[in-house]
Amino acid sequence: MYYKSPTDSLYWYDSGAPLDGLPDGSIPITHDEARALIGCELHGPSPYPSWVLHESEAHWIPPVARPAGDAMWSWDEGTLSWYELL
């Protein structure tokens, strides 16, 4: 979630994270308001065509969740699936 301070500084906090360090008088704002405030996109380009933007968190989400666990995974856009790196 994005927050705008009284001096128009932009802050971003993970959902549910404590708001320590946020200036008094800061207000929550939408992704579009944050983008307008700084005059550019708040995320990089999509890593793959099938991934969609999570607007409020400003990050890309794959169509299939990454498998859980300690293994290292890579995305295969051709099959729209994850494969384990060995």
pLDDT at residue 39, rounded to an integer: 65
pTM of the model: 0.52
The better pLDDT of the pair 80, 32 is held by: 80
8 in Cβ contact with 35 (< 8 Å)? no
Task: Provide mean pLDDT across the span 70-79.
Answer: 93
* Confidence category of residue 59, pLDDT binned at 50, 70, 90: confident
Q: How far is it, in rounded angstroms, from Cα 74 to Cα 77?
A: 10
When the pLDDT of each residue in the chain is averaged and rounded to a whole number, the result is 79
81 - beta bridge partners?
76
What percent of the chain shows pLDDT beyond 90?
A: 30
Residues 6+ apart with CB under 8 A from 80: 50, 63, 64
